Structure 1
Amino acid sequence: MNHCHHPPHLGGTSELAREAMDRGIAAFVSASTVRRWLREDALKPWQHHSWIFITDPGFRPTAERVLDLYARMFDGVVLGEDEYVISADEKTSIQARCRCHPTLAPGKARAMRVNHTYGRGGALAYLAAYDVHHAKVFGRTEPRTGIDPFMNLVTQVMSQEPYATAKRVFWIVDNGSSHRGAKAAARLAAAFPNAVMVHTPIHAPWLNQVEIYFSVVQRKVVTPNDFTDLAQVGDRLRAFEDRYNATAQPFQWKFTTSDLDDLLARLDRHTADHQEESSFHLTA
């Protein structure tokens, strides 16, 4: 077959085998034969990759600004020793799930066992600011996200040294509602004149280094979710911050503006190919 598509109403190999016989593709075929065909064939119709079309004409300069800050540059000028780069965001809805039966510790040849059923103990938001070049995390928990909780995080950082008297402190944030747009930038500058808000491009949170820290928190603190209450969640997060700050090194960020140009060129080719394919199907 030269063209392969995924029949949306079919499930496992048994159904695919029946469909092949109903369509006359084969007089008889077993589910195990279908599994072997799928395993050996280059086409994998059940697999898929997703991507997003970049519609923001300012994507590159916005991304370049962030990448330059990671390289300690801003507007073509090297940052001074009294200038800092903070990456900040919120991790929403961390739940306290109290397991109905005790979690069993791992043993020889046995993984940790966490009971599936649990009682809900509420949820909180975890806000974090990460000093990109000094690998220091400032975190706090709040009942929910929003402008006030985010500004509480900003105040927590900006009210202490070296940030309070720094020449400039750049705050890299995404386009979430707590810190979106020019109003958020103006609000930040009004509260702390030496603070400069820099947004990542739309749909590009992967450019925000604090997301790497959040992925570590997800693996080492939140998973498996087994907390008696929200106080225990907060205590565990704060304890992890202390351990992290004692030993952390800056992330080895290797994505540069050259890599950005390569990525955008590949996306342009991918978009053009997709549009050409869509046009072919519409006219066929």
Structure 2
Amino acid sequence: MANRAAPALTLREGDRGELERLHRSTAARAGEVLRARIVLAAADGEANERIAQRLETSKATVLKWRGRYQAKGLAGLSDEARSGRPRTVDHARIVSVTLAPPRKYGVTHWSTRLLARHLGIGNRTVATAWREYGVQPWRAETFKFSTDRELVAKVTDVVGLHLAPPENAIVLCVDEKSQIQALDRTAPMLPMQPGLPERRTHDYKRHGTSTLFAALEIATGKVTGACKPRHRHQEFLAFLKQVARAYPDTGDGTELHLVMDNYAAHKKAEVRDWLAANPRIQVHFTPTSGSWLNLVEVWFGIIERQAIHRGSFGSVKDLNAKIRAFINGWNDRCHPFVWTKTADEILKNANRQPTLNTGH
């Protein structure tokens, strides 16, 4: 009778969702996750011995947290105040020192051991203070400010095209992915097998580079692409003419609206003159440092992950052929690219960032 099912533990209203969140969490402490798993298993009527065996803990631990939840609900799963001498280390001071650069030691940021030695305390104490205040000195992220004076107008224009394109118009996001390397491994790749991932040598041969020009139709996800050896204005103008042929003027007044960034080749006199001679094609520039508003960048990430990064190419010709094959396959299974955030939400978020120090 050792595995006889215990009476199912009755959960309080609304607690299951919080327990399941803890059960799936990768950020919660291991003890909190274990307690949530115990209570959920008990609520499903699983025997105490079986819970202990499956979760690799003791039956006493299972009974303890069953009882604590039964008595106090979720509050019973929290650690109770420990007996003994109150904490004498000031966590706020530890964090205050953490936020100051450790110039004395010639490093860019504190580690728990370096700060502990500096303050004359244990490194576990430093780690506890960092966890309490959410401080993570080992992490660093990037950000970019747009200094475009027409930021608001350009964001509103481009996002408006994504969310509500004009009637009788096709919106295309246009850009180039340059310097794509034709890399060939020094030995054939070993294919994936049960229990083994695909394997390849760490070294490779370079066979040159290619530039992929692409126009993404956001309403369908269809891509018009071309591979060229360089990405000057001459190649860009040739690609624009290819796009115009792919979407011919049928006399019904359909306009082409092109979203592109501020790369110099996009604004050359020859390109401007050709656009002026083709008034059905209208250009919308993203703000400076705002190329992420161009949805073709998302598609470039897809082709990089699915066709280029793990590819092996014996020549630039081989690379271009495989890129074209991916585009053909993509267009057979393409899907619309849906933009969800409004211009106001984007600008509100941008305004929350600290302002630049211009020196004035």
- TM-score tier by shorter-chain length is 0.7 to 0.9
Match of 1:219 in 2: 305
Shift in Å, 1:161: 4.0
Do the aligned partners of 1:188 and 1:196 also contact (CA within 8 Å) in 2?
no
Q: Does residue 79 of the first structure (1) align with residue 197 of the second (2)?
A: no
Q: Which runs of 5+ in 2 are unaligned?
A: 1-92
Alpha-carbon distance, 1:193 to partner: 3.1
1:136-168 Cα distance to aligned partner (Å, 9 max, x none): 111111111111111111111112444565532
Give 3-state SS (helix, strand or coil) of 2:354's partner: helix
Taking the aligned partners of 1:71 and 1:266, their CA distance within structure 2 comes to: 18
Q: Name 1:91's counterpart in structure 2.
A: 177
Q: Report the equivalent of 1:278.
A: none
Q: Does 1:265 align with 2:353?
A: no
Q: Is the 8 A contact 1:188 1:197 kept in 2?
A: no
- Relative to structure 1, the CA distance from residue 164 to residue 136 in structure 2 (aligned partners, 3 Å threshold; closer, same or farther) is farther
Q: Is the 8 A contact 2:233 2:271 kept in 1?
A: no
- TM-score of the superposed pair, with normalisation by structure 2: 0.64
C-alpha contact (below 8 Å) 2:163/2:339 kept by paired residues: no
Q: CA RMSD in A?
A: 2.7
Give SS of 2:139's match. Answer: coil
Unaligned runs of 5+ in 1: 276-284
Residue pair 2:233, 2:265 contacting (<8 A) in 1 also: yes
Q: Aligned residues: percent identity?
A: 25
Misfit runs of 4+, over 4 Å: 32-41, 163-166
Rounded Cα–Cα distance in structure 1 between residues aligned with 2:204 and 2:109: 32
Residue 256 of structure 2 corresponds to 169
Q: Distance in 1 between matches of 2:249 and 2:224?
A: 12
Task: Give the corresponding residue for 2:291.
Answer: 205
- Say if 1:267 and 1:69 are closer, same or farther in 2 by CA, change over 3 A: closer
Q: Distance in 2 between matches of 1:146 and 1:244?
A: 26
Counterpart Cα distance in 2 of 1:164 and 1:238:
27
* Aligned partner (choices 74, 85, 102) of residue 7 of structure 1: 102
Q: Distance in 1 between matches of 2:249 and 2:170?
A: 7
Instruction: Give the letter aligned to residue 143 of structure 2.
Output: W
Residue pairs, 1:15-34, within 5 angstroms: 17-18=113-114, 20-21=116-117, 23=118, 25-26=119-120, 29=122
Q: Which residue of 1 aligns with 2:160?
A: 68
Match of 2:203 in 1: 117
Contact 2:214 2:226 (8 Å CA) reproduced: yes
Contact preservation (8 Å) 1:90, 1:125: yes
Distance 2:190 2:131 in 1: 37
Taking the aligned partners of 1:190 and 1:263, their CA distance within structure 2 comes to 31
Query: Does 1:253 find its partner at 2:350?
Result: no
2:146 equivalent among 54, 58, 63: 54
Distance 2:328 2:162 in 1: 24
Distance 2:170 2:234 in 1: 23
Contact 2:116–2:126 (8 Å) recurs in 1: no
Q: Higher relative CO (CA 8 A, sep ≥ 6), structure 1 or 2?
A: 1
Aligned partner of 2:175: which letter?
D
